[in-house]
Amino acid sequence: MSSSTIPVWLDCDPGHDDVFAILLAAHHPSLNLLGISTVHGNSSLANTTANAGSVLEAIGRPDIPVYPGSKKPFSRAAVHAPDIHGHSGLDGTDLLPKASRPPVLDTNPILAMRNALLAQSPNTAWLVATGTLTNIGLLFATFPEVAGHIKGLSIMGGAVGEGFTDVPMSRLPGEESRVGNTTPWAEFNIYCDPEASQSIFSNPILCPKTTLIALDLTHQVLATVPIQERVLKTSTSQASTASELRRMLYELLVFFANTYHSTFGMEGPPLHDPLAVAVVISNLNSDYEQAYPDKVLKFDDRNGGVLPCKL
């Protein structure tokens, strides 16, 4: 891999929108995806691990290793989201292939993350988390030296509300004041393991390196019907039928769109997770840091709510 690429480790819980985060991380020419760790969240750890392997197979990157991580939060029972992602975590298509490469079971996933990140030059590697933060919390609690070594931590999670943007979290009657997508205040990834989340957001070394992609942003990035159709077949394609990969991605988007519409009344589901990967290849993080050097992330006492605050 070229020395000009950005090394990235992806921790995820696939999950329909995780599919597009994996696709972006695995194929963007500016990124070097070092590995994937899976975590409980959208579905069970067994399902999210199988889903990650299947997605890598489907997109032609079975060379990327998958490490099964935590099957439950720090101190509470696991919570899943079958109402959004189905019982498998990736309901809606039968086109997902079986992974040709099994997950890595003979290496501790937290140690694998640590070794991969510390093997990179200082201040170059990014850690991207698009699921529950249990693995990430364990990483920095077990190996605190990683926090000072990495370039950044990008998290899809949390919600700000309180006029931060004018984007509604739900379009259903009576939910105009909703901030979260799991409770009126809480976003799912933070809600699932608030203790792990708190350990990350209270880490003084991580705070200035962390970018939080909250619902207030992701609900502005909707995979509307025209976008779904572009995924199925580009306007410039000369093929009479879409490829199996395009059909698979389209079917996943349609399922995700239907569950989001029934749950939140939205036309087109938000593609939350790819935005956390996009941070790594954009100027968003450095621009924000320069504009607001005194702002960090703080865990709020409303379970799962995260607010920016001054030190």
Tell whether the torsion through CA atoms of 8, 124, 209 and 70 is positive or negative: positive
Beta bridge partners of 213: 156
Q: Out of 16, 80, 149, 272, which one is annotated catalytic?
A: 272
Q: Cα separation of 305 and 1, whole Å?
A: 39
Tell whether the torsion through CA atoms of 111, 67, 8 and 303 is positive or negative: negative
Q: Cα separation of 286 and 211, whole Å?
A: 10
98 dihedral zone (left: phi>0; alpha: psi -120 to 50; beta)? beta
Nearest to 48 by CA among 19, 73, 77, 21: 19
Residue keyed to tokens 């997109």: 59
Q: Cα separation of 53 and 116, whole Å?
A: 19
Q: Which H or E element spans position 68?
A: strand 66-68
Q: Is 149 annotated as catalytic?
A: no
Q: Cα separation of 151 and 135, whole Å?
A: 18
Beta bridge partners of 152: 126
Q: Cα separation of 270 and 300, whole Å?
A: 24
Q: Contact, 52 vs 285, CB < 8 A?
A: no
Active site residues: 272
